[in-house]
Chains A and B, each alone.
Chain A
Amino acid sequence: MDDRATCGPGPLDSLGPLGPPGAQREPGILRLGRQEFPAGRLLVMAIINRTPDSFYRPGITWHETAAMERVHTVVAEGADIVDIGGVPAKPGTEVTVDEESDRTIPFVEAVREAYPDLVISVDTWRHEVGRAACAAGADLLNDTWSGWDPKLAEVAAECGVGLVCSHTGGQHPRTRVFRRAYADVMADVLDRTLTLAQRAVQAGVDPSRILIDPAHDFGKNTWHSLEISRRLADMTATGWPVLVSVSNKDFVGETLGAGVDDRLAGTLAVTSVAAWLGARVFRAHHVEQTRQALDMVAAVKGDFRPARVLKGLV
């Protein structure tokens, strides 16, 4: 399948570091599904892979019963959003639209039936899958491949759901970064994500349902991912809610010299830095630990009441 004829990053006008006029928004309420989240609320997006071959614990939720069991678990652990994906990010055997739909759509329906109010996100770049997912009950389209299929934003608008606007440096879906260089990676991230957000608004997506995501590791080497982590405040300053997806990723592994099963501490460290710098949604494999790290950061920021304070007060 070559979708380059109709899809791809496309030409962008030079928009400057903060994107086009009007690309900023007032920080405030994020709406997802039936729910409204104020600015100080940090949200955990639990990863549910309906794939046999994703990079972290491949195949663990390939079967529907295992996937539903994981939904029950992550909800109990404090997940605010589940992110259901049917295609791994890495290169591999082609997953067609039909195959991706088969993997994700019935499962979205099942989760919606089990949890009427849970925010359901679907990780896809294809508008056909996005449309079917919305019909099945999805609330958010997580476009990890950065508007490769421009019709996805139109589907989000048409269905009244949210959209994640990400940055990949123009990578084709399911390809790995190869010798990518940026004059200023954060400027490129801002340019792309804000442009996509602006396009989504123009297409009719509710601005309060749009997130931006720098997309660590996508079209970026480890130095780039560290740089966008360090400068994440440049993104949060735009007022758009920022989603970060850092869980167990290679930039953590390369930084710490840690294998894929030994990246939790690094993941939580970057998660905490991102939370401190104002990110609001955190895509995660380890929901319980992420929830705890975020609650701790929120308490330090003064946005979260401690559970039980007795020390020195008895």
Chain B
Amino acid sequence: MHGPARGPAVIIRAALCPCPPLLARELTGRDPIVSGLREACAEAAARLVAADPDILIVVGPAPETAGWDSASRLDLSAFAPALGATLEASGTPGLPLSLGLGVLLLDQAGYSGPRFLQAVGEQEPVGRCTELGDKLAASAARAALLVMGDGSARRSPTAPGHLDERAAPFDARVERAIRAGDLAALAAVDATLARDLMATGRPAWQVLAGAMGAERPMTEILYADDPFGVAYLVADFEAAPNGAGQAGAS
């Protein structure tokens, strides 16, 4: 699946953030909630921007694999009609949730450089995902990647998908792989099990695995918790210098 030879470390930095609607501050009411999660996402986005990439690519799961207009935004009124149709003026279609929240994070981080928005289909098999990641990596000399995706939504009796005993070990394996910079382990996540566990981030993780190649990036976990029964993971990935990658401590 590897194309023509390309320069090393084309993805100079990547971040993984979850994509629950509650990341949009307007949707959650008066009380400050999930401030730790929001701060971690902001930190991850800020690190991407600070890396000064030629292009920032947002990847997130959606019903279909497709590129989206980089001027598009999330239509919050789809979740809260009282907010009004915020996109009517722009004339662009509303983004899928994952990409919309990724764009929101970039906007909040003050990023105004080139961006590319890539949805990856929820049903895409692993091979298609890693291939897509490989293509994205080759799209610019110095690209950064913001990957949006969640772990299992079946982690407790009050979780959206109720409790599935397989959820905790599944998410723990994903977290361990990311902590170790072991992207091959992400590529090996079973799509059927992920679907059963409502782990919607699976195809996006596998795009990340394809994009960062075989080298182990240095990683840092900025947030890992499940306050509402869904596994939220925020992580920072820095390409290993000169391809001599090794896992970073977290």
Q: Return the contact of A302 from the options B30, B82, B229 (Cβ within 8 A).
A: B82
Docked Cα-Cα span, A307 to B229, in Å, equals 21
Q: Which of B52-107 contact A (CB under 8 A)?
A: 79-80, 82
Question: Using Cβ atoms and an 8 Å threshold, which residues of chain B touch A314?
Answer: 20, 22, 153, 160, 227-230
Q: Return the contact of A305 from the options B30, B33, B160 (Cβ within 8 A).
A: B30
* Residue among A306, A307, A313 with the highest chain B CB neighbour number at 10 A: A313
Docked Cα-Cα span, A211 to B22, in Å, equals 41
Question: Using Cβ atoms and an 8 Å threshold, which residues of chain B touch A179?
Answer: none
Docked Cα-Cα span, A177 to B22, in Å, equals 55
Is A34's beta carbon under 8 Å from chain B? no
A-B interface contact total, Cβ < 8 Å: 39
Known contacts: A302-B82, A314-B22, A314-B160. The answer to whether A309 contacts B228 by CB under 8 A is no
Is B29's beta carbon under 8 Å from chain A? yes
Is B139's beta carbon under 8 Å from chain A? no
Are B28 and A309 touching (Cβ within 8 A)?
yes
A152 to chain B, nearest CB (A): 40
Q: Which of A84-130 contact B (CB under 8 A)?
A: none
Q: Which of A258-314 contact B (CB under 8 A)?
A: 302, 305-310, 312-314
Q: Which of B1-53 contact A (CB under 8 A)?
A: 20-22, 27-31, 33
Known contacts: A302-B82, A313-B79, A314-B229. The answer to whether A307 contacts B22 by CB under 8 A is no
Nearest neighbor of A304 in chain B, beta-carbon distance: B30
Are B160 and A308 touching (Cβ within 8 A)?
no
Known contacts: A302-B82, A314-B22, A314-B160. The answer to whether A309 contacts B27 by CB under 8 A is yes
Q: Return the contact of B29 from the options A302, A306, A312 (Cβ within 8 A).
A: A306
B46 to chain A, nearest CB (A): 24
Docked Cα-Cα span, A47 to B153, in Å, equals 49
Question: Using Cβ atoms and an 8 Å threshold, which residues of chain A touch B82?
Answer: 302
Question: Using Cβ atoms and an 8 Å threshold, which residues of chain B touch A310?
Answer: 22, 28, 33, 228
Are B30 and A308 touching (Cβ within 8 A)?
yes
Docked Cα-Cα span, A307 to B31, in Å, equals 6
Question: Using Cβ atoms and an 8 Å threshold, which residues of chain A touch B228?
Answer: 310, 314
Question: Using Cβ atoms and an 8 Å threshold, which residues of chain B touch A312?
Answer: 21, 79, 160
Docked Cα-Cα span, A309 to B27, in Å, equals 7
Question: Using Cβ atoms and an 8 Å threshold, which residues of chain A touch B29?
Answer: 305-309
Docked Cα-Cα span, A196 to B105, in Å, equals 56
Nearest neighbor of A303 in chain B, beta-carbon distance: B82
B86 to chain A, nearest CB (A): 15
Q: Return the contact of B22 from the options A302, A305, A306, A313 (Cβ within 8 A).
A: A313
Question: Using Cβ atoms and an 8 Å threshold, which residues of chain B touch A307?
Answer: 29-31
Question: Using Cβ atoms and an 8 Å threshold, which residues of chain A touch B28?
Answer: 308-310, 313
Docked Cα-Cα span, A307 to B227, in Å, equals 18
Nearest neighbor of A301 in chain B, beta-carbon distance: B82
Docked Cα-Cα span, A307 to B28, in Å, equals 8
Question: Using Cβ atoms and an 8 Å threshold, which residues of chain A touch B227?
Answer: 314
Nearest neighbor of A314 in chain B, beta-carbon distance: B228
Residues 210-230 of chain B, each 1 if its beta carbon lies under 8 Å from chain A, else 0: 000000000000000001111
Docked Cα-Cα span, A309 to B22, in Å, equals 8
B201 to chain A, nearest CB (A): 14
Nearest neighbor of A299 in chain B, beta-carbon distance: B82
Question: Using Cβ atoms and an 8 Å threshold, which residues of chain B touch A302?
Answer: 82
Nearest neighbor of B232 in chain A, beta-carbon distance: A314
Nearest neighbor of B226 in chain A, beta-carbon distance: A314
Nearest neighbor of B83 in chain A, beta-carbon distance: A302
Docked Cα-Cα span, A116 to B27, in Å, equals 36
A193 to chain B, nearest CB (A): 33
Question: Using Cβ atoms and an 8 Å threshold, which residues of chain A touch B230?
Answer: 314
Are A313 and B27 touching (Cβ within 8 A)?
yes
Docked Cα-Cα span, A305 to B82, in Å, equals 10
Docked Cα-Cα span, A314 to B226, in Å, equals 10
A297 to chain B, nearest CB (A): 14
* Residue among A302, A306, A312, A314 with the highest chain B CB neighbour number at 10 A: A314
Nearest neighbor of B79 in chain A, beta-carbon distance: A313
**A-B contact list, 17 entries, CB within 8 Å:** A302-B82, A305-B30, A306-B29, A306-B30, A307-B29, A307-B30, A308-B30, A308-B31, A310-B22, A312-B79, A313-B21, A313-B22, A314-B22, A314-B153, A314-B227, A314-B228, A314-B229
Chain B interface residues (CB < 8 Å from chain A): 20-22, 27-31, 33, 79-80, 82, 153, 160, 227-230
Given contacts A308-B28, A310-B228, 15 further A-B contacts (CB under 8 A): A305-B29, A306-B30, A307-B29, A307-B30, A308-B29, A310-B28, A310-B33, A312-B160, A313-B20, A313-B21, A313-B79, A314-B20, A314-B22, A314-B227, A314-B230
Of all A-B residue pairs in the complex, the 8 with the closest CB atoms, nearest first, are A314-B228, A313-B21, A306-B29, A313-B22, A309-B29, A308-B31, A302-B82, A308-B29
